[in-house]
Amino acid sequence: MSRGLATPVALAVLLAAGCGGGDEPAPNRAEAVVDAAGEPPYVGSLDVNPRDGSLLMATNAGTFRVRRGSDRIERVRVRISAGGQSIAARGGLAFAFTGPDRLVGSGHPGADSPQLLGLIRSSDGGRTWRNVSRLGQSDLHALAQRDRTVVASDGQRAQVLVSEDAGENFGTRPSPLRLIDMDASPDSAEKLVGSSEGGLYSSADGGSTWRARDSVPNSRLAWPAPGALFRVDGDGAVRRSGDAGLSWKRVGKVEGEPHALAAADARRLFAADIDGVIRGSRDGGRTWSVRARPGP
């Protein structure tokens, strides 16, 4: 695999105003969770913390948590150590849990500051992050880690970045189109499924080669078990694959316009829509109910 050593560059400006530590009060307006007038992606990530089952959601307006057993959406104040600075950040993040309280992530600060975060990591549930590599070089929109292999889709071009040393160095591999979402099988980072505006693609060799699987565009993906790959399409249809994306079976439908999908296991699924409403399923995607919504 080809490799490129990433040399961090200093961030020129702050990502956004803010201060560190603690949660803010729950938002009382939908606009506080998703900025409808802002830049997409409106919901960048949704995932489940294996430590306590809480949900972490990133949008273009900030990072938010829903604690297990609660329907309250709390804002999380985020700080990132990058380029010798400690930066308060709001919005523009993407991430995936790799273990209890541990995440791999990326993002961009927005139009006022063109710097890209590269690969970042958190070990405290997403409150604080540190840059690992590719600072100023990459905005990674979908990430997964299996053992020491990190795979990510490039948010700016049609390629996948692959690291075999936990994100210190990456090689690039072309993808058919720019992928808006991607996930790896829990048992192997060689098995990938990616979603694009042109449909679904799968790879059995870590992104070196890809095959078209479905023409449905812009699906969101979650792969909690080797034989349980889920996707939600733009119309809310929920489908499951038991063969790494080669074939799909419709299992249910979720309301809203889904922009992110997450799974705690093969039965407990969560979807976030364009307004920041989070819905959950306890039966593998067959039925859904509101888990949390913006509001007082």
Q: Is the pLDDT of residue 52 over 60?
A: yes
What's the whole-number mean pLDDT along residues 62-88?
92
pLDDT at position 88 is: 80
More confident residue, 63 or 31: 63
What's the whole-number mean pLDDT along residues 16-37?
55
Q: Which uninterrupted H or E stretch holds 244?
A: none
Q: Which uninterrupted H or E stretch holds 264?
A: none
Q: 160, exposed or middle or buried, with CB in 10 Å at 0-12, 13-18, 19+?
A: buried
Q: Is the pLDDT of residue 30 over 60?
A: no
For the chain, domain boundaries? 15-138
108-154 pLDDT, tens digit each: 754 434 478 999 999 999 999 999 999 989 999 899 999 999 999 99
Q: pTM of this prediction?
A: 0.88
The answer to whether 135 and 118 have CB atoms below 8 angstroms apart is yes
pLDDT at position 137 is: 92
Q: Are strands 199-203 and 188-196 parallel, antiparallel or unpaired?
A: antiparallel
More confident residue, 158 or 24: 158
3-state SS of 37-75 is CCCCCCEEEEEECCCCCCEEEEECCEEEEECCCCCCCEE
pLDDT at position 148 is: 96
What are 148's two structure tokens? 């020491």
pLDDT at position 108 is: 78
Share of the chain above pLDDT 90, in %: 77
CA distance 181 to 197: 10
What is the residue-averaged pLDDT of the chain? 88
CA torsion 69→29→27→220, rounded to 10°?
A: 60
